[in-house]
Structure 1
Amino acid sequence: MYTRHQTSKLTQEFWTVFGAYMKPVPSADGSRVNWQNYRTGIRHLFFRINADSTGVSISIVIRHPDPVIGALYYEQLQALRRLLEKELDECWTWRAERSEETGASVYSVSKELKGVNVLNREHWHRIISFLKPRIIALDLFWSKARFGFEGLI
């Protein structure tokens, strides 16, 4: 088992490697982008990448304090589902509202890869190979879809 310090160091090393690997890849509009901390430009709507000892996931997360607006964002995302799936070239898992301890509405659309461990350097290639095409496809989707969210509130 790893100490907390070793876990933190390996995780940080992975994200540094991933960032360096993705750095030369421009966004769909040709600009530079921080792929591991992708900014959608819409408050309360995020692209999240998680990697730990049990697997890796990439997701679109809507976490809005106003349940009505959160539901509206999710409905808009559902209306764009065909475009999203076309860009991703695969189906993802859709999770409707669930309540957290904060009381915020949370919705997500995600894809997971189990059986990989970010603490194992031998798995890094598989993790990056999983993440790279999906984050690029999300960016391409978002370059077309973000305008549908800007006028919602």
Structure 2
Amino acid sequence: MYSREEVKQLKQLFWTKFGQFMSLHSAADGEKVNWINYKTGVKHLYFKMDADNNTAKIAIIWSHSDAGIRTLMAEQFMQYKGLLHATLGEDWEWDLDSYDAYGKPYCQIYKTLVGHSIFKEAEWGELIAFFKPRMIALDEFWSSAKYAFDIFK
């Protein structure tokens, strides 16, 4: 079992290494991008990566406090579902009615990888191989679809 400080350090080291690895890649529009803290330009809309002791997850998350806005954003993503899945090269899970640990509602489109731990440095290659192509594909998708979400800025 790891202490809280060890958990923090291992996660920070992984994400630092991942960020260094990804810094070699430009965004689809040719701009420099912070892959770890990807900016969509739309408030309450995030591309998020996370990993723990058994699961890695990459997701599109929108968490506007207004349920109507969340629904409109979900409808907008549904309009682009074909493009999203074609760009990703795979289908992702759609969960349009989730709540975080604090009871705050959010929606997500996500993909998970089970059986790999961020706490085992030997498995970092598999985690990077999971995150890298999907994050690059999300960026490519977003470079085409982002204009349809300007109404939410």
Q: What TM-score do you get using the length of structure 2 for normalisation? A: 0.95
Partners of 1:135 and 1:27 lie apart in 2 by: 10
Alignment of 1:12-51 (within 5 A): 12-51=12-51
Alignment of 1:93-104 (within 5 A): 93-99=93-99, 104=104
Is residue 66 of structure 1 aligned with residue 66 of structure 2? yes
Partner of 2:118: 118
**What value does the CA root-mean-square deviation take over the aligned residues?**
1.5
SS in 2 for 1:32: coil
**AA partner of residue 30 (structure 2):** G
- Give unpaired runs (5+ residues) of structure 2: none
Aligned residues of 1:88 and 1:137 also touching (Cα < 8 A): yes
Partners of 1:48 and 1:5 lie apart in 2 by: 22
Aligned residues of 1:67 and 1:104 also touching (Cα < 8 A): no
Partner of 2:139: 139
Aligned residues of 1:64 and 1:104 also touching (Cα < 8 A): no
Aligned residues of 2:43 and 2:152 also touching (Cα < 8 A): no
Partners of 1:114 and 1:121 lie apart in 2 by: 16
Partners of 1:105 and 1:118 lie apart in 2 by: 27
Deviation at 1:102, TM superposition (A): 6.1
Identity in percent: 39
SS in 1 for 2:116: coil
Deviation at 1:55, TM superposition (A): 1.2
SS in 1 for 2:36: helix
Partner of 2:108: 108
Partners of 1:151 and 1:10 lie apart in 2 by: 39
Aligned residues of 1:65 and 1:103 also touching (Cα < 8 A): no
SS in 2 for 1:35: coil
Partner of 2:76: 76
Aligned residues of 1:45 and 1:62 also touching (Cα < 8 A): yes
SS in 2 for 1:31: coil
Instruction: Give the paired residue count.
Output: 153
User: Deviation digits for residues 88-136 of structure 1, max 9, x if unmatched?
Assistant: 0000000012345766541100000000000100000000000000000
